[in-house]
Amino acid sequence: MMSGSHGRNKPQKRKKDEFDNDYREDWQRNHRHSPDERQRISHSEKCFTVHPRNKYNTSAPAFRKPMFVGDFCLDENRMFCHDKRNLHYININWQESKKVDFDLNIAMDKMIKKNFQETRKEKLDRLLQWILCDKFKFHTRDSEGKPLQCLSTDFVCFRGLLTELLCTPYESREGWIICATKYRGTIYLCAYETPEKLEQRENETEVQKKMCSWGYKFEHFMTEGTNVNEGINENEEYCCVVRSRLENHSLVYGAEVDGADPEKYKNPHSDLSAFVELKTSKELNTDRDLRSLYRFKLMKWWSQSYLVGIPRVVAGFRDMDGHDHWQDNIMLNFLNQFLSFVKKNVQKDDPRTVYKFERQKQGGDIYCTYLGQDPAWTFLPKWYYEKIFQPEDNSE
């Protein structure tokens, strides 16, 4: 097992009141559009080029340290719970290259597996439920005591979507689909699986499914107070919600988090510096294994952790029974410019209107398609957009 950390382009720590003021002012400035700017852009401007990636090789854009704003859990049935019931503490009895003998097949027959056909239907629902519960956190100083009029943030999404975007300049094996809807000035981003990804998942072998479950079992071994002879329910999650900003783009996003270091975790906390990411990978037996780790996995691990400000990754390397270099500034510049491209395209402010951004596999460019009010792609639920800006009922 080894530990890893990331520290390049470490964001400067800011006081909360300074953050909130800048956050509000930037959002207001970025949403002042002239009538001409609101006009539909031409077809030629609806393509975003990925390559050559060297065009993104400039100094990294400013990325504000992610601030913790809330959390929620999903229970054994993936129902939303506004609490910390699935927050785990990680057993930090480890050091670099520590040898362990974990049998990740223990209690495999008792494991309750995640149903991906069902989880696909969730879209942003669980994050939106949290926003409804904690919408008071989106009030600015100017709006306190008044009905909420907007979220004062540019983008709302999950971390996994941002991770995929960060890795896009270096990942050409798979395409992706992201849909966007603008409501009250905020653009909601939702990832969809491509037909190729759906086919892959439907045709997974038993070995591939078992390898996925090994990751959950490794987390089980690393969690304090658990009995490894018991089964695991893969549906259970603990998720944090963070607020950050990349250059002029303010962001609120949710992220599943593996657990916290019990020696560092204190509640309340303003960031995720006490949390730990847990990962598994096969043993590095060949140069090809090592190149693959450096080229793909470490890039993804770094992206996931950097986006939420988690400073430590603990990786368990397993056997099969149980040098392209990536640059963080290129990844951050790509994400920054792509978010600008999304803002430029997503003009209509309507919770039922959808824009689709799609990248084909084999490293193609990204194309934007206006879908309008297509029920096959609409993802903002009526129960959310009809309630989020309604005045609070304080009659009880």
Q: Which amino acid is at 81?
A: C
User: Is 159 a domain residue?
Assistant: yes
What range defines the domain where residue 263 resides?
A: 2-6+17-31+61-169+205-323
The pair of structure tokens assigned to 224 is 């304090």
Q: Which residue type sits at 7?
A: G
Q: Which range, 35-49, 134-148, 239-253, 380-394, is most confident? A: 239-253
pLDDT of residue 16: 43
Structural domain includes residue 286: yes
| Residue 240 forms part of a structural domain | yes
* % of the chain beyond a pLDDT of 90: 51
Q: How far is CA 341 from CA 177, 244, 246, 334, 367, in A?
A: 15, 19, 14, 10, 10
Give the model's pLDDT for residue 124. Answer: 98
Among 62-71, 271-280, 318-327, where is mean pLDDT lowest?
Answer: 318-327
Residue 12 lies in a domain: no
What is the domain count for the chain? 1
Give the pairing type, strands 237-246 and 176-183: unpaired
Do residues 276 and 240 lie in contact, with contact meaning Cβ atoms separated by under 8 Å?
A: no
Token pair belonging to 151: 């979220």
Q: Cα–Cα–Cα angle for 282, 297, 263, nearest 5°?
A: 85
Pairwise CA distance, residues 82 & 79, whole Å: 10
Query: In this structure, is residue 71 part of a structural domain?
Result: yes
Asked if residue 377 belongs to a domain, the reply is no
Most confident of 15-24, 142-151, 220-229: 142-151
What is d(CA 337, CA 343) in angstroms, rounded to the nearest whole number? 10
Instruction: Report the pLDDT value the prediction gives residue 278, as an integer from 0 to 100.
Output: 85
Each residue of 318-355: pLDDT tens digit? 555 553 468 999 999 999 999 999 999 999 999 999 99
Predicted TM-score (pTM) of this structure: 0.82
Confirm if 313 and 299 have CB atoms less than 8 A apart.
no
What's the pLDDT score for residue 145?
75
CA distance 81 to 75: 7
Identity (one letter) of the amino acid at 312?
R
pLDDT tens per residue across span 383-393 = 999 999 998 76
Q: Looking at per-residue confidence, does 145 or 11 come out higher?
A: 145
Highest mean pLDDT: which of 76-85, 91-100, 258-267? 76-85
- With a pLDDT cut of 70, the percent of the chain lying above it is 79
